[in-house]
Amino acid sequence: MILFNTYPETENSSLLVFGLMASNDASTPLPAQTNSPLEFLVQDFAIIMIVATIMLLITFKLKQSAVIGYILAGMLIGPYTPPFSLIHNIDTLSAFAELGIIMLLFVIGIDFPINRLRQVGRISAIVAVAESMGTLLITFIVAQFLGFSYFDSLFIALALSITSTVVTIKVLEELGMIKDKSTTLLLGISIVEDTLAIAILGILQSVATQGGDISFANIIISALIVGAFIGGTLVIGSKLVPKLVDRISKVNDYALILISILGIAFFLSFLAKSVGLSVATGAFFAGVLIAEARSASVARVITTPLRDMFAALFFISIGALMDISLVPAFIIPALILIAVSLSSKLAIVSGILSIAKYGKTTALRTGIGMSAARGELSLVVAKVGQDTGAVSNSLFPVLGVVTIITTFITPYMLKFGKRLNFKSDSGNSTARTAKSDKGKEQTSNEDDAS
């Protein structure tokens, strides 16, 4: 707002601009008229969508994941790309990334109802915990050896311990492997892994906000805060949220349903942030609670377009916030970390499943699937680390390179896994089938006799 005040006792008028007085004489030029913040916001949004569309068309033609197109689009328009930035306000990117995290994790949570978490097989839970913690520990040690700081190493290790379920499942669908036994195991392991990653992220952020003191007492306090939030949300929320959503759904007004479930998602995100946790934690468990409602399928359908839009904004924002001048310096460390995390996951997953007598084919296919792509949650970890101020500017370039490379090689790795077929597994399968048929025949004869 600009106010002009003219004083009759002076020859010059004075100019009040945003509360600042300036003399309006010939020697002081008037400030040039500037665009409003809203105009810059609309302009930034338009540039983001146009560049993203072009990059998506290119990645579609090259038969690559949309995630690669989004990240590259962000790198093109970001403030670190010479000769100039196409985005006027860096805060716009951060705001888009924050909204993207909430919507992305909320919709992921809708796919993980409490009953589904309970029904995860024991072997999936064992494998998930072992490979997540094992990969985290090994990658942390290697990151420290490569010269990364303590917190950088922690956040990098957590990011590289998480498989991108979205990218992996999409490729498996394209390969016609969605009903494969290894895919069923992979889904079960991913459910536990994602939930565990959200909890660990909450603990890391809580420790970081307490001054970064990695003492045993601090870790215990942070774990208790995370546990209390998750436990309270699931216990109290499961009694209230599903009933509320079902009651609202009876109105058959999609606008009302959408606004109400978004209100729940943002409220729990705000609540998580208020106790020192990531908005991702609140958004994920908001989705878990919505999934408990009988009308969860309706919520999933009407929020999917929002997820797609805000997920795009999130990945683009991550690409834009990457300092690409640092990328060449971190190519070699990124490749080393990819090799370490990939081999760790593959060895742990396939090793445990082989010991559990799942057969070499199933064990290796599951191991390859779990070790392939890094994506959405890995980049969420990077964003949370940056927001807490616990990590350096090198985290985005490293994880950006990791995401692009692993997403690119995932289809080739899974195609290789599809071609794996050990003869010994076929023999075991035939023996198991024969044994099962013999058992059924024996049972049938006993029933006839009785």
pLDDT range class, residue 155, cuts 50, 70, 90: very high
Q: What is the widest separation between alpha-carbon atoms in the chain?
A: 120
Q: 74 with 219, same domain? A: yes
The pLDDT of residue 6 is above 70: no
> Residue 335 falls within a domain, yes or no?
yes
- Judged by DSSP in three states, 90 sits in helix
Instruction: Give yes or no: residues 273 and 412 share one domain.
Output: yes
264 and 367 housed in the same domain: yes
Q: How many domains does the chain have?
A: 2
Say how far apart CA 70 and CA 78 lie, in whole Å: 12
Residues 91 and 141 in one domain: yes
Instruction: Tell me: do 181 and 246 sit in the same domain.
Output: yes
390: which DSSP letter? -
Q: Which pLDDT value is given to residue 25?
A: 45
pLDDT digits (tens, 9 = 90+) for 28-54: 443 444 455 556 777 778 888 888 899
Q: Which of 223-227, 237-241, 255-259, 445-449 has the lowest mean pLDDT?
A: 445-449
pLDDT at 9: 42
Domain that holds residue 17: 2-33
pLDDT band at 415 (very low <50, low <70, confident <90, very high): confident
The per-residue pLDDT for 447 is: 45
Is residue 323 in a domain? yes
441 in any annotated domain: no
Residue 195 lies inside a defined structural domain of this protein: yes
> Are 108 and 144 in the same domain?
yes
The answer on 136 and 27 residing in a single domain is no
Tell me which residue has tokens 């003219």.
6
Tell me the per-residue pLDDT of 173-229, one tens digit each, with 9 for 90 and over.
777 777 788 888 888 888 888 888 888 888 888 887 776 666 677 778 778 888 888
Residues 8 and 155 both lie in one domain: no
Integer angstrom CA distances of residue 121 from 115, 196, 263: 12, 15, 33
- 16 lies in a domain? yes
Instruction: Evaluate if residue 134 carries a pLDDT over 50.
Output: yes
Question: pLDDT per residue over 345-398, tens digit each?
Answer: 999 999 999 998 888 888 999 999 898 888 778 888 888 888 888 888 888 888
In a domain? residue 434:
no
Of 149, 43, 95, whose CA–CA distance to 321 is shortest?
Answer: 95
Percent of the chain with pLDDT over 70: 81
Indicate the helix (H) or strand (E) that contains 5.
strand 2-5
310 burial level (CB within 10 Å; 0-12, 13-18, 19+): buried
Residues 279 and 352 both lie in one domain: yes
Q: Which two tokens stand for residue 283?
A: 């958004």
In a domain, 432, yes or no: no
Q: Any idea which of 80-84, 244-248, 438-442 has the lowest mean pLDDT? A: 438-442
16 vs 315: which has the higher pLDDT? 315
Residue 113 covered by a domain: yes
Taking residues 276-294, report their average pLDDT. 85
Instruction: Judge if 202 and 73 occupy the same domain.
Output: yes
- Residue 153: its pLDDT value, please? 92
The DSSP annotation for 11-65 comes to: SS-EEEETTEEEE-STTSPPPPP---HHHHHHHHHHHHHHHHHHHHHHHHHTT--
Higher per-residue pLDDT: 268 or 447: 268
Q: Are residues 328 and 299 in the same domain?
A: yes
Asked whether 355 and 418 are in contact (CB, 8 A), the reply is: no
CATH of the domain at 334: 1.20.1530.20
Q: Mark whether 280 and 298 lie in a shared domain.
A: yes
**Arithmetic mean of pLDDT over the chain:** 79
